[in-house]
Structure 1
Amino acid sequence: MNSNYANDAFMARRTQDRPPFTGIFWHRLLRQLLGFGCLFFALAMISGCANRYSTDAFLENNEVQNPGTEHTILVASARALAEDPATLYKGGRSDYVSHAAVTLSVPPNHKSGEIEWPEQFPGDPKRHFTVRNATYLDSKAAFKNAIETELSQRPPEQRNLFVFIHGYNTSFAEATYRLAQLAHDTGYTGVPVLVTWGSSGNTLEYLFDLNSTMIARDGLVETLTTLNETSAREIILMSHSMGSLLLMEGIRQAHLEGGVKDTRKFTQVIIAAPDIDVDLFKAQMRRIGKPDRPFIILVSRDDVALRLSRKISGGVSRVGAYENDKELSELGAIVVDVTELSARDPARHGRYADAGDFAPLVREMLKDRGIEMAGLQFDSSNDRSRPLEPLIDRGLGIVITSPDR
């Protein structure tokens, strides 16, 4: 038989066996694409204010009379440096850790959970978050010295560090302003430290951000080692969204390498709306082992951002929207379900920003179970510390699942 004829016959049979692209196929594909489009649009709405992308976000307001409350934030960054000093850091990655210090002022009319962005920078300190000072620190030693200076200005019981790691689609400005808001609303009395990584700040660059967290792991372990070498009494670690993947990978890596010799200072880990594959999280926790103090996980079942993440990640549940609280608690975690809290963002992914309102209630609920919650210490001498009764009257539907004792 002619070989060409045989090959043609074989290819014809293969073509006949291949299922055609039917109308049903195209309908399903279109429905999937429309679904993704709607979810990406909802995620884009998280941004809210375009000023979070402004290249002028760190223009300094040097008015002598400042009616606001100032918070100095120390920064360890795996982001690319910006060419403009009014930006400090841009979207994108760096292959080394750099450092900065930013002092932000929160206005007297501030509403809990909000960031009062200026319409135009540097803004009005009576009405907006404004930058009082923003500068690079030229070395790790300078970063460490700046932390020691801040700690020394506080009484001994307040010489603590609160480390925050932001999530996906987050600009440097948004991460810094958000940490100032959290520190202010909780009345935190220690030193806030921002760990920032190379998020592009673009809704459509999810995979870029995901890989950026992996690139930032070594830098995070290096930063945790540096912080552990300071005179701080306690170090609290809090992360949001994809930043929780970075934090968990950093803890796992530090555990395997043994680089952080004494971990007793790290008294609490809080992961909010973690965008982590639940199977990966289980593997991480098995490697790390049950922590002496359970990790705290903030979850919500209606998180649109995590719904999208699940869709584009093979349908595997994300930890921040996982429905089996008992299973997570058995790994060594306290699960705090905040689904019933009202959400400020359409994607319902940012409820952690209201920690100033619900954290005291969570602390009290845990205390009733005999669990002492380390972490955000509330300053009872100012009006930012909120009594529990109004929160209870508001009917906050917080559900807590804790490990069996």
Structure 2
Amino acid sequence: MRLELPLLAFVVLLVAGCAGVPRTTLQPVEATAPGTHEVDMLVATTRTPSDVPGEVFGDGRGSSLSVENIVVSVPPDSVRKPGEVIYPKENPGDPAREFVATKIEPLDRAGVRRWYQRVASPQKRVIIFVHGFNNSYEDAVLRFAQIRTDLTVNAAPVLFTWPSGGSVFDYLYDRDSANYSRDALEAIIESVSANPNVEDVTLLAHSMGGWLAMEAVRQLAIRHGHVPKKLSNIVLASPDIDFDVFFTQLNQIGDASRRITIFTATDDVALRVSRRIAGDTQRLGAIDITRPSVRQALLSRGITAIDLSNGNSSDGLNHMNFADSPEMVKAIGRRLVAGDNISGSRPGFTDTVGATALGAAQGVGSAIGAGVAAPVAVISPAARKRLRTQLGKTEQAFRGSLLTATGQ
């Protein structure tokens, strides 16, 4: 049997970028440590429960929506860089050095109402996070705790985690699982927006989660004729969405498209492989926003696009640039604190991002929104050269392995 190059490349590259994330890391600890940050989040999931200690929920598709209240302790700033998730090396984890759960409690409807009154009511803001491909339940929880901490914004955190297989071999399973979860995410967005304790909602989605988020918002628009007014920001980070399909989704969303911000990177290796699997169709998260046709298409819908190319994400694939960039996360956090829309923002937003993104002007990204272009991502030429060399060696090693495995 002849092995298909795009699929094998997908496996090899994503194994390199996504390996090493521990499982079963959500065993609650009672110990505390000075200087830690506490993230008190609501977690809604369409996954099946797991009997494995520390896993809580697995990768199966549940027949109903389950809700938990999870409190995560984030280690002190002195031992963690912004953008970094430090997983427990063993259980129980050490709160002085690692991300650990201090509370995991299933919630019924009354419990959910109490959580909103306790956590959301004082802040009046909620941020909903939807993770992407190849995420376990515990990985999604700890990653969102990192994002929420580094945002430094007073917004009640709500995580929606869908049944990703948590494996680089499960791309198609994950795609179907995302589709399986559309109605549930739609219900979450609708219920959060209708909650009297909430005045403002931001929807943040990464990678394949961007597809799920757009489908849920599209369904809301079709079902009710509009998108909830409280949903002020829709942030798509490295969205794994067909570029043409995205614009058909916008047709249903209408003027709410002006609330959308997209983080892109032309050197996103994961989306490059996704494009090949999808028959060489352009992925939204990897578009070149300097192209006049792309630029005009986005600006005509009032969409803000920010180019994070030449970043240096922890996954080695430039697919996690958004969460790994403390400057970018803080810039957006300040915007939300000010009560402003990210997309359709004043020119000062992209100017601020350009000034703070990695602090130098040796490489240039781009931002478009409200007719503004500004540098937003910088990496030294030497680092870019090392990255190209690393990718070249990966490709050579892959081809050698392929020849050995197939005898061709």
Q: What is the TM-score normalised by the length of structure 2?
A: 0.80
Task: Write the distance in 1 (CA, Å) between the matches of 2:129 and 2:332.
Answer: 19
Displacement of 1:359 after TM fit? 4.0
Matched, 1:205 2:174: no
Question: Aligned partners of 1:287 and 1:320: how far apart in 2?
Answer: 20
Counterpart mapping for 1:243-254 below 5 A: 243-254=209-220
Partner residue of 1:242? 208
State whether residues 50 and 57 of structure 2, in contact with CA within 8 Å, keep that contact through their aligned partners in structure 1.
yes
Moved more, 165-174 or 82-91: 82-91
Letter in 2 for 1:402: G
Matched residue SS, 2:216: helix
- The answer for the alignment partner of 1:93 in structure 2 is 61
The aligned counterpart of 1:44 is 15
Q: What is aligned with 1:311?
A: 276
User: Is 1:266 matched up with 2:231?
Assistant: yes
Letter aligned with residue 241 of structure 1? S
SS in 2 for 1:50: coil
- In 2, the alpha carbon distance for the partners of 1:389 and 1:96 equals 46
2:100 is matched by which residue type in structure 1? Answer: T
1:16 matched to which residue of 2?
Answer: none
Alignment map for 1:101-140 (pairs within 5 Å):
101-108=69-76, 109-137=79-107, 139-140=108-109
Pair 1:146-2:136 in alignment: no
Which residue of structure 1 lines up, in the alignment, with residue 139 of structure 2? 174
User: 2:132 aligned with 1:161, yes or no?
Assistant: no
Contact 1:267-1:293 at 8 Å conserved across structures: no
Distance 2:35 2:261 in 1: 35
CA 1:339–1:221: 2 relative to 1, 3 Å:
same
Bigger Cα displacement from structure 2, 167-176 vs 286-295: 286-295
Q: Spell out, residue by residue over 1:11-36, the C-alpha distance to the aligned partner (whole angstroms, 9 max, x if none).
A: xxxxxxxxxxxxxxx9xx66xx3453
Deviation at 1:401, TM superposition (A): 1.1
Asked whether the 8 Å contact 2:48–2:59 carries over to 1, the reply is: yes
Q: Is the 8 A contact 2:163 2:177 kept in 1?
A: yes
* 2:153–2:333 Cα contact (<8 Å) kept: no
| In structure 2, distance between residues paired with 1:352 and 1:64 | 30
- 1:212-270 Cα deviation digits (max 9, x unpaired): 111101111111121112211210000000001110000010111118x7712111000
Q: Which has the larger radius of gyration?
A: 1
Q: Summarize deviations over 1:66-125 as a string: whole Å, max 9, x none.
A: 541111111111111112453211112112111001111111111111101121122111
Residues 144, 226 of structure 1: 8 Å contact kept: no
Instruction: Assess, with a 3 A threshold, how the Cα gap between structure 1 residues 162 and 59 changes in structure 2: closer, same or farther.
Output: same
Paired residue type of 1:117: Y
Distance 2:245 2:166 in 1: 25
C-alpha distance in structure 1 between counterparts of 2:369 and 2:253, whole Å: 18
**Helix, strand or coil for the counterpart of 2:39?**
strand
Identical aligned pairs, as a percentage? 28
Contact 1:363 1:373 (C-alpha < 8 Å) held by counterparts: no
Q: Is the 2:259–2:342 Cα contact (8 Å) retained in structure 1?
A: no
Q: Which runs of 5 or more structure 2 residues have no equivalent in the other structure?
A: 289-293, 344-351, 373-408
Deviation at 1:360, TM superposition (A): 4.7
Q: Distance in 2 between matches of 1:65 and 1:50?
A: 24
Q: Is the 8 A contact 2:260 2:304 kept in 1?
A: yes
Q: CA deviation at 1:334?
A: 0.5
| Larger RCO (alpha carbons 8 Å, 6+ apart) | 1
Residue 362 (structure 1) shift: 6.6
Work out the CA distance in 1 between the residues paired with 2:63 and 2:317: 32
Distance (Å, rounded) in 1 between the aligned partners of 2:358 and 2:164: 37
- Work out whether residues 330 and 404 of structure 1, in 8 Å CA contact, stay in contact via their aligned partners in 2: no
Q: How does 1:216-231 map to 2 (within 5 A)?
A: 216-230=181-195, 231=197
Letter of the aligned partner of 2:368 in structure 1?
T
Structure 1 counterpart of 2:48, from 71, 77, 80: 80
- 1:282 Cα offset (Å): 0.9
Q: 1:186 to 1:361 in 2, by over 3 A?
A: closer
Normalising by structure 1, report the TM-score: 0.80
Instruction: Figure out how many residues of one structure are paired with residues of the other and give that number.
Output: 353
1:399 paired residue number: 366
* Most deviating of 302-311 and 318-327: 318-327
Q: Distance in 2 between matches of 1:135 and 1:397?
A: 46
1:361–1:388 CA contact under 8 A, matched in 2:
no
